[in-house]
Amino acid sequence: MKYYSRLIFCFDVIRDWINYIKEKYIDFIEIEELINENDIFYKIFIFNKFNDNIGAEIFVGESNFAPYENIYFEVVELINKDYSFLFSYYDSKDDTKDDILFNLEKGLYIILNYGSVI
């Protein structure tokens, strides 16, 4: 897959998944999106409505020497002005749609359940 077409593929996978979770988890998460079509990037912030200490960032765009191909997804716990990584996913050029969705769901599970008593 050529680089530009892979970038568009990644945009589509992430955008479709975000639209899905916006509906399914509307009572549990808050999502903020930033799309810049000129610079070709898409940034999403996801927050747990019941736990202010959990947040996530997804970036889709050109990597420019970063350790990912087009997507990074980081879930963090915020404590006092510090944060610790709870989960991170950095795609590679060989990742399939299923690989990407699997990792997005893993991160979402942490966002929804971290710190809860089960």
The pLDDT tens digits for 62-85 are 887 788 999 999 999 988 888 899
Q: Dump strand ranges (E) for the chain.
A: 29-36, 41-48, 51-61, 71-79, 82-90
Cα–Cα dist 49/35, whole Å:
23
**15 in a structural domain:** yes
**6, 22, 42, 76 from 47: Cα distances, Å:** 27, 12, 17, 10
Cα–Cα dist 100/60, whole Å:
12
Could you list the residue range(s) of the whole structural domain that residue 56 is in? 3-113
Domain count, the chain: 1
Reading the chain (118 residues) residue by residue, the pLDDT tens digits are 565 789 999 999 999 999 999 999 999 999 999 988 776 789 999 999 999 899 999 999 988 778 899 999 999 998 888 889 999 999 999 999 999 999 999 999 999 998 664 4
Tell me the whole-structure pTM to 2 decimals: 0.89
- What was the pLDDT predicted at 44? 97
**43 in a structural domain:** yes
**17 in a structural domain:** yes
**118 in a structural domain:** no
